[in-house]
């Protein structure tokens, strides 16, 4: 009589099962001893909300009603072709302009004169000069120019090569104006540098400072002369501690500040210089 139960197949099945059990056991041991059963969740940083505006403290007195003055109608005698308006800061109290005259850049305040033309005021995109009791209007050169420069740097093959060969990279057009207690930054500058992070590192060196493996500010290792970064008042050895009330105690804090730079209308920078903390105030216009 033929045996229906094949011993050979049974043996093979037993061998396979033994291997399965052994491998499973080995994996369980390895899993228990060396592997982790939980992943890592990214913790969202809880930090103070950035103060992206300046608060002016005043007495409790109610503000006086605004005076409504009749608008002065200024008769414009013509344009001045030899003066090119590069940047303007204009408020009720003051007007500061950056102009180019005979290929030289100059900064003028109210009442300053150039070639007989006296700065008399301005608007958001123009300046008014007076000469011989006649008013002359100078329009702000459109920011398109700076955008075109940026595009040509990035995309034009020929220009890219030329710029790469130059030892000094071209600088953006915007100006930084010193207004006494604070500095006024042309927004086009911030637009330029937020679009091209590479150009920041060519002009300023920033290194993280760590204490017990935790970021404790960012040190400036160099500032290229004549660049907007130098005009900001930053010096080699300064430690950036906070920006708009937010401590720069992580890479994320610094990166967030960089990413939000375009939305900031006022910037307060806390720095440590020669072991003393000081604040640098900026207005973005």
Partner 1 sequence: MQMVKNILLIIATLWFAILLFMPKVDLYYSLENKLVKKGIVINEKSIDESVFSLSLKESDIYAEGINLVKLNKINIFTLLFYSSINVNGINIDESLKSFIPVTVEKLIASHSILSPRKVFITIVGNFGVADGIVDLKKKIIRLDFSDTNELNNLKKQLKKDKKGWYYEKSF
Distance CA 147, CA 211 (A): 41
Residue 129 exposed, middle or buried by CB count within 10 Å (0-12, 13-18, 19+) = buried
The 235-264 site mask, x for binding partner 1 (CB under 8 A), equals ---------------xxx--x--xx-----
Distance CA 220, CA 236 (A): 5
Question: What residues from 80 to 139 belong to the interface with partner 1 (CB under 8 A)?
Answer: none
Q: At closest approach, how far in Å is the CB of 191 from partner 1?
A: 13
Q: Which of 158, 198, 212, 276 binds partner 1 (CB under 8 A)?
A: 198
Q: Is 15 in the site for partner 1 (CB under 8 A)?
A: yes
What is the Cβ-side half-sphere exposure of residue 90, based on CA atoms within 13 angstroms? Answer: 16
Q: Which of 1, 5, 7, 38 binds partner 1 (CB under 8 A)?
A: 38
| Cβ-contact 162, 113 below 8 angstroms | no
Distance CA 47, CA 83 (A): 48
Q: At closest approach, how far in Å is the CB of 147 from partner 1?
A: 15
Q: Which residues, at least 6 apart from 141, have a Cβ–Cβ distance to it below 8 Å? A: 84, 85, 86
Q: Of 13-21, 68-76, 167-175, 275-283, which part binds partner 1 (CB under 8 A)?
A: 13-21
Q: Of 25-33, 101-109, 124-132, 172-180, which part binds partner 1 (CB under 8 A)?
A: 25-33
Q: At closest approach, how far in Å is the CB of 194 from partner 1?
A: 8
Q: Is 210 in the site for partner 1 (CB under 8 A)?
A: no
Q: Is 196 in the site for partner 1 (CB under 8 A)?
A: yes
Return phi, psi of residue 12, to 5°: -60, -45
Q: At closest approach, how far in Å is the CB of 209 from partner 1?
A: 14
| Cβ-contact 100, 86 below 8 angstroms | yes
Q: Which of 24, 202, 207, 235 binds partner 1 (CB under 8 A)?
A: 24
Q: Which residues, at least 6 apart from 243, have a Cβ–Cβ distance to it below 8 Å? A: 50, 253, 257, 267, 268, 269, 270
Contact residues for partner 1, defined by CB under 8 A: 12, 15-16, 19-20, 22-24, 27, 30-31, 34-42, 45, 154-155, 160, 194-198, 250-252, 255, 258-259
């Amino acid at each position: 009589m033929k045996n229906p139960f094949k011993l050979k197949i049974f043996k093979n099945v037993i061998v396979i099962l033994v291997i399965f059990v052994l491998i499973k056991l080995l994996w369980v041991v390895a899993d228990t001893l060396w592997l982790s059963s939980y992943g890592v969740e990214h913790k969202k940083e809880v930090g103070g909300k950035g103060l992206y505006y300046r608060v002016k403290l005043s007495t409790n007195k109610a503000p006086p009603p605004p005076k409504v003055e009749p608008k002065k109608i200024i008769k414009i005698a013509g344009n001045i072709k030899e003066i090119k308006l590069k940047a303007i800061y204009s408020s009720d109290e003051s007007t500061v302009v950056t102009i180019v005259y005979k290929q030289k850049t100059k900064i003028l305040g109210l009442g300053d004169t150039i070639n007989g033309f006296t700065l008399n005021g301005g608007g958001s995109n123009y300046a008014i000069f007076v000469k011989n009791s006649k008013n002359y209007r100078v329009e702000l050169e459109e920011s398109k120019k700076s955008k075109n420069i940026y595009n040509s740097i990035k995309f034009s093959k020929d220009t890219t090569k030329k710029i790469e060969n130059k030892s000094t990279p071209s600088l953006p057009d915007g100006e930084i104006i010193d207004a006494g207690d604070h500095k006024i930054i042309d927004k086009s500058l911030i637009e330029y540098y937020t679009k091209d992070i590479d150009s920041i590192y060519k002009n300023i060196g920033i290194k993280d400072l760590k204490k017990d493996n935790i970021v404790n500010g960012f040190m400036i290792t160099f500032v290229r002369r004549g660049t907007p970064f130098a005009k900001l008042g930053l010096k080699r050895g300064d430690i950036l501690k906070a920006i708009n009330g937010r401590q720069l105690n992580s890479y994320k804090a610094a990166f967030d500040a960089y990413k939000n730079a375009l939305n900031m209308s006022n910037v307060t920078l806390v720095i440590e210089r020669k072991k003393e903390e000081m604040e640098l105030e900026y207005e973005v216009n």
